[in-house]
């Protein structure tokens, strides 16, 4: 079995500052979180930006530029910029920073879907910032738009024109067929790095049977030409990514996906989650990929 790639998603656009004091928000915090995660064993850093004043998810290239050059200079981790941004951003906004930064890697969400976060809002009474509660509650009527035309545009503008390769985020079986469609159209070339996403309300649930079925269908559609990684939201994170590691897949951790390190205990940092999964996968007999090994496995431009 090849080395296992650990991705760490540092901050995302789902969790809010009231939920954890450890969620990185400012450029300094995101930089420190990224360096700590890389030091702990993450080969890939999946990146979103936030407004440093309020912690609100931001698509502003200036906010990304507060940490991207520093991460590039001080670590050799693969920088993977989100093109999902947040469901309230337009595609033009979502593309602005990655088009400017020309990263080795970018995420690509493989279908339009609901992306509801509002149950989290019910659990908190004391909000630090005015935007947080309505942002979460409004998600019960949000569409995360990733039409075939949107996907083609991202593949063209970041992939073909700027040489990025992709973390293909698949929240459902249908997304695998969408990926196959783009492979058949010749817009993407193997190896495909597929991120199976579990536990978002609007995507597949965190049942182990869903993972075995996704792998079965991906094997059928892509044969030897793909590899998979797993991320799972909230408390399902560690169990499902451990299952991925045991099945020969890769793993993603990070405070974007879960704020905890164990049930009811907040993670102190992104690095803490990286270290935990590192210990688990090494105990399973897998060795952790360095950033350069990940580049070779994924065929990145470097």
**Closest of 99, 105, 139 to residue 13, by C-alpha:** 139
User: Using CA atoms, how far apart are residues 295 and 44, in angstroms rounded to an integer?
Assistant: 9
3/112 with CB nearer Zn ion: 112
- Cα Rg, the chain, nearest whole Å: 17
12/103 with CB nearer Zn ion: 12
Please name the residue that has the structure tokens 């509660």: 133
9/59 with CB nearer ligand KMH: 9
Q: What is the number of the residue whose Cβ is closest to Zn ion?
A: 82
Distance of closest approach, residue 46 Cβ to ligand KMH, in angstroms = 6
Distance of closest approach, residue 76 Cβ to ligand KMH, in angstroms = 22
From ligand KMH, Zn ion, none, interface partner of 170 (C-beta below 5 to 8 A by class): none
3-state secondary structure of 220: helix
Note the residues at the interface with ligand KMH (CB under 6 A).
9, 12, 14, 82-84, 107, 109, 169, 197, 200, 256
Phi, psi of 133 (to 5 degrees): -65, -50
From Zn ion, ligand KMH, none, interface partner of 109 (C-beta below 5 to 8 A by class): ligand KMH
Distance of closest approach, residue 12 Cβ to Zn ion, in angstroms = 5
Q: List, in sequence order, every residue forming a beta bridge with 81; answer none if it has no partner.
A: 47, 106
3-state secondary structure of 264: coil
Distance of closest approach, residue 115 Cβ to ligand KMH, in angstroms = 8
**CB within 8 A of 11, min separation 6: which ones?**
23, 24, 25, 30, 33, 47, 48, 50, 254, 255, 256
Note the residues at the interface with Zn ion (CB under 5 A).
12, 82
Distance of closest approach, residue 224 Cβ to ligand KMH, in angstroms = 26
3-state secondary structure of 36: helix
Q: What is the number of the residue whose Cβ is closest to ligand KMH?
A: 84
Q: List, in sequence order, every residue forming a beta bridge with 9; answer none if it has no partner.
A: 46
Q: For residue 137, what are the CA distances in angstroms to 123, 134, 275?
A: 12, 5, 33
From ligand KMH, Zn ion, none, interface partner of 169 (C-beta below 5 to 8 A by class): ligand KMH
232/286 with CB nearer Zn ion: 232
286/300 with CB nearer ligand KMH: 300
From ligand KMH, Zn ion, none, interface partner of 197 (C-beta below 5 to 8 A by class): ligand KMH
Structure tokens at 47: 């990146």
Distance of closest approach, residue 254 Cβ to ligand KMH, in angstroms = 9
Eight-class DSSP state of 203: B
| Contact in structure between 211 and 236 (CB atoms under 8 Å) | no
9/155 with CB nearer ligand KMH: 9
From ligand KMH, Zn ion, none, interface partner of 298 (C-beta below 5 to 8 A by class): none
Distance of closest approach, residue 100 Cβ to Zn ion, in angstroms = 18
């Amino acid at each position: 079995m090849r080395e296992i790639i650990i991705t760490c998603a540092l901050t995302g656009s789902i969790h809010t500052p009231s939920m954890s004091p450890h969620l990185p928000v400012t450029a300094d915090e995101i930089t420190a979180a990224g360096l700590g995660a890389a030091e702990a064993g993450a080969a890939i850093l999946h990146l979103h930006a936030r407004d440093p004043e309020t912690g609100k998810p931001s698509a502003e290239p200036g906010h990304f530029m507060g940490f991207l050059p520093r991460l590039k200079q001080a670590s050799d981790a693969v920088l993977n910029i989100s093109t999902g941004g947040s469901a309230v951003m337009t595609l033009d906004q979502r593309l602005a920073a990655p088009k400017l930064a020309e990263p080795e890697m970018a995420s690509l969400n493989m279908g339009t879907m609901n992306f509801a976060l509002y149950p989290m809002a019910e659990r908190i009474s004391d909000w630090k910032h005015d935007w947080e509660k309505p942002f979460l509650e409004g998600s019960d009527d949000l569409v995360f738009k990733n039409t075939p035309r949107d996907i083609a545009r991202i593949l063209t503008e970041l992939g073909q024109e700027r040489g990025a390769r992709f973390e293909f985020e698949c929240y459902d079986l249908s997304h695998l067929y969408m990926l196959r469609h783009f492979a058949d159209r010749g817009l993407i070339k193997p190896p495909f790095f597929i991120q199976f996403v579990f536990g978002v309300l609007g995507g597949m649930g965190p049942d182990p049977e869903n993972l075995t079925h996704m792998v079965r269908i991906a094997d059928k559609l892509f044969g030897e030409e793909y590899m998979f990684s797993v991320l799972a939201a909230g408390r399902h994170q560690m169990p499902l990514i451990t299952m991925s590691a045991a099945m020969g897949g890769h793993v993603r951790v990070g405070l974007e996906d879960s704020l905890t390190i164990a049930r009811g205990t907040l993670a102190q940092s992104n690095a803490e989650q990286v270290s935990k999964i590192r210990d688990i996968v090494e105990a399973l007999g897998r060795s952790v990929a360095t950033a350069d090994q990940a580049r070779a496995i994924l065929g990145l431009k470097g």
